[in-house]
Amino acid sequence: MNSYSYTPLITLLPLAGFVILGIFGRKYFNKTGGLIGTGLLLISAILSLYTAYQYFFVNGKVGDTYQTITAVKFTWLTFSQHVSIDMGIILDPISVMMLVVVTFVSLMVHIFSLGYMHGEERFATYYAFLGLFTFSMLGLVVSSNLFQIYMFWELVGVSSYLLIGYYFDRPSAVAASKKAFIVTRFADLGFLIGILVLAFYGESLDFATIIKNLSTAQSTQFVAITSASFLGISAITWGLTLVFMGGAGKSAMFPLHIWLPDAMEGPTPVSALIHAATMVVAGVYLVARLFPLFTINESALEIVRIVGVTSAVFAAVIACTQTDIKRVLAYSTMSQIGYMMFALGVSSTGGENGLGYTASMFHLFTHAFFKSLLFLGAGAVIHMVHSNDMKDMGGLRKHMPITHISFLVACLAIAGVPFFSGFFSKEEILLAAYHSSKTVYVLALLTSGLTAFYMFRLYFNIFWNKDTEVHGHHGEGTFAMKLPLILLAVLAFGAGYIPFGQFVSTDGKALESEFHLAFSVAPVALGLLGIAIAAWMYMKPNEKPQRVANAMGGLYKAAYRKFYIDEIYLFITKKIIFNLIGRPAAWIDRNIIDGLMNGIAAVTAKTSALIKGMQSGKVQNYALYFFGGVAALLIMFIYFWRP
Amino acid sequence: MQQELLLTVIIFILLFLKLGADNIDSKKLMTLVNVLLAINLAAGFFFNQSGSLFGDMFYTDHLLRLEKSILNLGVLIISLQSVNWLSKHQHAVEFYLLMLSTLLGMYFMISSHNILMFYVGLELASIPLAAMANFDLDKKRSSEAAMKYIMSSAFASGLLLFGISIMYGVTGTLSYEGLREVASDSPLFLFSFILLIAGFGFKISAVPFHLWTADVYEGSPIAVTSYMSVISKGSMIFVMASVLFHVFDKIFFTWYNLLAVLAVLSMIIGNLFALRQQNLKRFLAFSSISQVGFILIGMTSANPQGATSVIYFVLIYIFSNLAAFGVLSLVSTEKGKETIDEFKGFYKTNPALTWILAIALFSLAGIPPTAGFFGKFFLILAGASKNNYVLITIAALNMVISMYYYLRIIKAMFMDANDNPIEKVEISLSPKIAFVTCVAGIVITGLVSGVYDYIFSLVR
């Protein structure tokens, strides 16, 4: 027994909420379901904070290095001699950090929803789904092995499917949830094969064992995985790239990002939970979890870097043109996650070289707070004006002061204005990029300027600009909606002051983050410039935005249409896959198999069905196919494929 | 032999009942039969003799006993589910006589230790099945299905028997032990072997031996369809696993590639056809073809993990598929509706049945935490042990495609509007027990690791 034996409770309490509310919710707790769910999660959050305290300050450190502690572990089943499947909870700096982030943000969302979802018909069901999602996400972050992480990974997908599709009477919500599910499933296919490759060569499913087996040069497993190759690429590159493909799907990285903007159809607090702080960063977390393997394989790491930086720039450009406020936030999330990804991509391991890794985790941490704050703020705004479109908003600062201030704090944080949390983490990422690759650095800098611009475009359009008539019947929302905004605003400001390098680094040792004043000049100046342009264009109602859009012409239009990525996918799936494979298959079924039956059936319609069945030639046909199959196999295996 | 004897005794009890009492109350009869089947299932766990009989024609051990018990469980569930249908049927006893005869045939197939014995068991398992397919006596489609089945089956048996005779001609022996010694990759032996595989393939409806499946499944009464797709198929899979692993292990190269080809074809073709189906019975027929593809992937591993995964998956498949067929059976018997469009808005009127069907489909699609996820994961993990990643990639890709069409039904039931949804269907006690068993099975078989461990401990 160790002192962490209570940790399963952290994950199991939300599950209990799901079971209770899922089974009895609609009958007994439809009014009080929210309080039950929130209460359980509160306990879970307190336990997480306690765990973090204990781990970081009491007994996580041996010497000057943070250890990986296995809090709970049991063998679930033994698959073969090498591979046994375990269920367990491991605590290391990143999993403990994620525990805190997930439970805290989830708690805020639970509280916010008490006001936001009040009066919904399926109130208890909503909380049941929230509980299920939180459980799966927590299970994912504490996973000790690949099987467990894959299982929870899928479970996260299912529960987010349920949450996005919560408004199942809206066709767009249904379509969105299906899209999200199918796209991420497709990515998970890569993940699954990646797991199999790594598990096969690493001879284990356990993270620690795989990493040990595969990263020790000259070990038999290492030699095997680096020498085996397929299509000229070594097995380890394949394995890691495929695993990364799963991560990229969940984290909405280019080009697998198409589901994220549509997923905004779900209830807004859900977006705050899933699409800001938890599920979408799962991909980053996965790469971080397997980071020691990525560092020994430069090509896989390069893919991470390229995909990350592409997504960051690409999404930032699109975000500048969208008018649906939730979509702006969605693209902004994608861009920020791109930041975290390439930060991992430019990192290597050990001491100063691991700065990118620390910075990535740091940005994940701060981003969770300010982005969920932005989503919740957007939720409050939508609650007020009953629209998602910027055109219907403006001048709201007078009507909702608390939302206004907290939203402003979040915008300043994400724009990287000094003294706010985003500044610190972004600065570290830029520094890491600067030391590793100048191209990445320049692109990141550009993105940072764009980020400031589109966030303040959003801010001025909502809270300044023209005045809107607000049918002010319910004011700014209940206390339950304001409290999370305030708490998150405090963190969005202050989370950056945590000396993150002390706790999270590639080798578990403290990493002193240095602060270079000169280095910060460029990003801060660009950020302020972005804010200034946004203020110039959007603070007052005027014609400038239209003129700029016209001047940009094709580029604006392309960005507005999200660079036609959706259309390309649609073209490939509908026109190519559907026509080339689906149609012929259906055609054979309809015309040859059924058609033969029906055609001849029409002639002999008057004779009995029994005779029709026999005379149609169909059974003979079947026999013919059968025999053809046998003959083909015989020829194949006797003449061509004999050992 | 005890299981076979007990089943024979049950068959005779029913036979005498039929001959002795003319107007037996159908409700009471059903109860009696179900109790007998439950006893049969329970008794299977107490028999524990291993060994061979009749000059090594017949062989049994713990694993085979478990396989038979799995089939017994499936038969009991089907029987419970079809109470509504059978209690209106005037020939209920005959139905059971036929069904239990085929089950006996499957026992002999599983326990055979001689290929001729296997053939006898196979015929006993096939011919009464055709009569069962005809059991909706007043429906022409049902007769058509029966006719098609018996014709196709006869054709497949003919080729199989041809293969067996050539095998005997080449080797001079038909016992498994003898064949194991002399199996070789000479052309003539491979010729007979491939004919044998074609016979297997017919029963499990692997592509290209699957063409009869859709028509027969659609035309037969649902109870028979579920029996064919689960029990009949499952028994043949058990036989395949043990025969390929222990008799033909010397020609592994050939059957590995053979199974790989069949698996790829089955998954792809089954999936593509399933995508476009409107009738749910036909849909499940095609989806079951693609499920067989996955089972074959697990079988290619030729190691104990593979054998365990296959048996484990069949167990899960029984629960999932029977839950789905059970819902369909109730709705079809009571309301006569079978197409996906008619199931739109099903959730509004029948929430409980919708959830059961949804869980079953989730499990068939392989989504955690249902057992189907574990089943498929283990099959693929076993298949990956041969390091053939092209095969595994195709399998994983097909998992995604299948996800799409299973979701389509779930979406129709939960989310699509329908002015005229299927009215509320009452669930009587027996189907209720069956549903609880299935759902519990879907949840527990996956999460409780003991099931897998137990099977693994029995696999040689």
B151-171 confidence digits (pLDDT tens): 888 888 988 999 999 989 888
Distance from CA of B70 to the nearest CA of A (A): 21
Residue A188: list chain B partners with CB under 8 A: 400
Residues 299-318 of chain B with CB under 8 A from chain A are 303-305
CA distance A541 to A551: 19
Is residue B93 over pLDDT 90? no
pLDDT value, residue A596: 46
Average of pLDDT values for B314-328?
A: 91
Helical ranges in A539-592 per DSSP H? 544-552, 554-560, 565-570, 583-587
Chain A and chain B share a number of CB contacts under 8 A equal to: 164
Interface test with A, best of B272, B359, B414 (most A CBs within 10 A): B272
Q: For residue B50, count other CB atoms closer than 10 A to its CB.
A: 12
> What is the tens place of the pLDDT at every residue in B182-199?
888 888 888 888 899 998
CA distance B359 to A536: 55
A642 touches B at CB < 8 Å: yes
B387 touches A at CB < 8 Å: yes
| Angle between the N-to-C axes of helices B371-384 and A171-202, in degrees from 0 to 180, rounded to the nearest 10 | 40
What mean pLDDT, rounded, does chain B reach? 85
Contact flag B415-A165 (C-beta cutoff 8 Å) = yes
Sign of the C-alpha dihedral computed for residues A357, A362, A363 and A369 taken in this order:
positive
User: pLDDT confidence of A150, banded at 50, 70, 90?
Assistant: confident
Interface test with A, best of B150, B202, B211, B216 (most A CBs within 10 A): B211
Extract the tokens encoding A28: 């007994």
Is residue B82 over pLDDT 50? yes
> What is the tens place of the pLDDT at every residue in A550-585?
666 666 666 666 666 666 655 555 555 445 544 554
Highest mean pLDDT pick, A104-118, A343-357, B314-328: B314-328
Contact flag A626-B305 (C-beta cutoff 8 Å) = no
CB half-sphere exposure, A355, CA atoms < 13 A = 19
Distance from CA of A297 to the nearest CA of B (A): 21
B39 touches A at CB < 8 Å: no
A628 touches B at CB < 8 Å: yes
Residue B195: list chain A partners with CB under 8 A: 630
Q: For residue B450, count other CB atoms closer than 10 A to its CB.
A: 10
Contact flag B373-A151 (C-beta cutoff 8 Å) = yes
**Residue in B144, B275, B404 closest to A613 by CB:** B144
- Give the Cα-Cα-Cα angle B393, B397, B401 (nearest 5 degrees): 170
CA distance A346 to A308: 10
Residue B407: list chain A partners with CB under 8 A: 178, 181-182
- Percent of chain B past pLDDT 70, that is, above it, reads 99
**Residue in B276, B367, B417 closest to A586 by CB:** B276
Residue A234: list chain B partners with CB under 8 A: none
Cis omega before residue B369 (within 30°)? yes
Residues 265-324 of chain A with CB under 8 A from chain B are none
Cβ burial of B1 (10 Å; 0-12, 13-18, 19+) is middle
B49 touches A at CB < 8 Å: no
Q: B286 to chain A: nearest residue by CA?
A: A589
What mean pLDDT, rounded, does chain A reach? 77
User: pLDDT confidence of B47, banded at 50, 70, 90?
Assistant: confident
By C-alpha distance, which of A370, A366, A522 is closest to A455? A370
B162 touches A at CB < 8 Å: no
> What is the tens place of the pLDDT at every residue in B50-62?
777 787 788 888 8
Answer for the pair A276, A372: CB distance below 8 angstroms, yes or no: yes
B138 touches A at CB < 8 Å: no
pLDDT value, residue B54: 80
> What is the tens place of the pLDDT at every residue in A446-469?
888 888 888 888 888 777 776 666
pLDDT value, residue A575: 53
The SS3 call for residue A233 is strand
CA distance B381 to A456: 50
Contact flag B185-A165 (C-beta cutoff 8 Å) = no
Is residue A375 over pLDDT 80? yes
By C-alpha distance, which of B328, B236, B344 is closest to B283? B328
Q: A150 to chain B: nearest residue by CA?
A: B368
Answer for the pair B457, B312: CB distance below 8 angstroms, yes or no: no
pLDDT value, residue B317: 92
User: pLDDT confidence of B353, banded at 50, 70, 90?
Assistant: confident
Residue B385: list chain A partners with CB under 8 A: 80, 200
By C-alpha distance, which of A323, A265, A264 is closest to A458? A323
**For residue B139, is it left (φ>0), alpha (ψ between -120 and 50) or beta?**
beta
CA distance A332 to A455: 8
pTM over 0.90: no
The better pLDDT of the pair B19, A105 is held by A105
Residue A624: list chain B partners with CB under 8 A: none
B152 touches A at CB < 8 Å: yes
pLDDT value, residue A232: 67
Contact flag B389-A197 (C-beta cutoff 8 Å) = yes
Helical ranges in A351-437 per DSSP H? 355-385, 401-415, 421-436
Element (H, E) at A61: strand A61-62
pLDDT value, residue B106: 92
Extract the tokens encoding A208: 């620690």
Distance from CA of A222 to the nearest CA of B (A): 16
**Residue in B151, B207, B404 closest to A619 by CB:** B151
By C-alpha distance, which of B423, B283, B422 is closest to B344? B422
Amino acid (1-letter code) at residue B312: Y
Element (H, E) at B60: strand B58-60
Residues linked to residue B60 through DSSP beta bridges, in sequence order: B51
> What is the tens place of the pLDDT at every residue in A10-68?
888 888 888 888 777 667 777 777 788 888 888 888 988 888 888 888 877 777 777 77
The better pLDDT of the pair A544, B242 is held by B242
**For residue B366, is it left (φ>0), alpha (ψ between -120 and 50) or beta?**
left
Distance from CA of B215 to the nearest CA of A (A): 10
Is residue B105 over pLDDT 90? yes
By C-alpha distance, which of B457, B363, B442 is closest to B63? B457
The better pLDDT of the pair A275, A139 is held by A139
CA distance B26 to A643: 59
Answer for the pair A322, A135: CB distance below 8 angstroms, yes or no: no
> What is the tens place of the pLDDT at every residue in A586-629?
554 455 544 444 544 443 343 333 333 433 446 777 777 788 88
Among A132-136, A240-244, B70-74, B452-456, the range scoring the smallest mean pLDDT is B452-456
Distance from CA of A493 to the nearest CA of B (A): 39
Contact flag A626-B152 (C-beta cutoff 8 Å) = yes
pLDDT value, residue A593: 45
Distance from CA of B114 to the nearest CA of A (A): 24
Contact flag A185-B403 (C-beta cutoff 8 Å) = yes
Element (H, E) at A77: strand A69-78
Contact flag B415-A168 (C-beta cutoff 8 Å) = yes
B35 touches A at CB < 8 Å: no
Residue B202: list chain A partners with CB under 8 A: 626
Cis omega before residue B421 (within 30°)? no
b or e along B403-432 (b: 16 or more beta carbons within 10 Å of the residue's beta carbon)? bbbbbbbbbbbbbbebeebbeebebeebbe
A614 touches B at CB < 8 Å: yes
Is residue A293 over pLDDT 80? yes
Answer for the pair B65, B3: CB distance below 8 angstroms, yes or no: yes
CA distance B211 to B220: 15
b or e along A152-187 (b: 16 or more beta carbons within 10 Å of the residue's beta carbon)? bbbbbbbbbbbbbbbbbeeeebbebbbbbbbbbbbb
B141 touches A at CB < 8 Å: yes
- According to DSSP, residue B232 is labeled I
The SS3 call for residue B273 is helix
Answer for the pair B85, B222: CB distance below 8 angstroms, yes or no: yes
User: pLDDT confidence of A168, banded at 50, 70, 90?
Assistant: low
Answer for the pair A405, A463: CB distance below 8 angstroms, yes or no: no
Residues 50-69 of chain B with CB under 8 A from chain A are none
A222 touches B at CB < 8 Å: no
Contact flag A637-B208 (C-beta cutoff 8 Å) = no
- Give the Cα-Cα-Cα angle A296, A298, A304 (nearest 5 degrees): 110
Residue B248: list chain A partners with CB under 8 A: none
A571 touches B at CB < 8 Å: no
Contact flag A622-B212 (C-beta cutoff 8 Å) = yes
A182 touches B at CB < 8 Å: yes
> What is the tens place of the pLDDT at every residue in B117-146?
899 999 999 999 988 888 888 888 888 888
Is residue B102 over pLDDT 90? yes
